[in-house]
Amino acid sequence: MNGMGFFKRWLGGAGDSAQRPEVRRQATQGMRMLVVDDSPTICAVLGRMLEQDGYAVQKAADGERALELARAEAPELIFLDIVLPGINGFAVLRALRHDARTAHIPIVMISGNPQATEQFYAQRFGADDFIKKPFGRNDVTSSIDQLVRSGRLPARDVAFERAAALDLQKGVHVAGLASLAT
């Protein structure tokens, strides 16, 4: 192995073609997710990431609204910021875990505070995962992958979705040919 290849692999760049990239599992397409953050930018960016992966997204800017939406809409996953106006993320997490209607929902805590104690408290109060701000698509997909692998979220059947998309394309193609024949 040459030195340059080692550094490329170590830094996450192109490496051995024999190595396959890790396949991340996605949750079921159309799954309802709730993003709770007082930053409109975080809500927009995280919401867009999730929508691009085929999830339905609702947003809340504070803890009170998050509790209302979680109880009324029963999302399958919640991304919950810790620092919120009014009720903070820890209080929302505790309330959701103590409510029979929402206790089962996986919750990923997010925070920009660099203190490691927040991650400890998030897990102690029952969060399923923790993402540190600033985060990227890789962090979000990794968290969803971990929840799917642990059985907290149902896995997306990618092979089925591809077959359905091909059938749809063939149907459109056949329908198009039939309309030309008439």
User: Is residue 33 a contact partner of residue 57, using CB atoms and an 8 Å limit?
Assistant: yes
With a CB cutoff of 8 Å and minimum separation 6, the contacts of 69 are 34, 58, 60, 75
22-156 is classed CATH 3.40.50.2300: yes
Tens-place pLDDT, residues 147-171: 999 999 998 776 555 555 566 666 6
User: Is residue 144 a contact partner of residue 106, using CB atoms and an 8 Å limit?
Assistant: no
Tens-place pLDDT, residues 74-119: 999 999 999 999 999 999 999 999 999 999 999 999 998 866 566 7
Tens-place pLDDT, residues 11-66: 444 444 445 456 778 888 899 999 999 999 999 999 999 999 999 999 999 999 99
Task: Single out the residue of 143, 87, 85, 86 nearest to residue 110, CA to CA.
Answer: 143
With a CB cutoff of 8 Å and minimum separation 6, the contacts of 64 are 86, 87
User: Is residue 66 a contact partner of residue 85, using CB atoms and an 8 Å limit?
Assistant: no
- Residue 37 phi/psi, 5° resolution? -160, 140
Tens-place pLDDT, residues 53-76: 999 999 999 999 999 999 999 999
Check residue 138 and give its pLDDT: 94
- Residue 3 phi/psi, 5° resolution? -65, -35
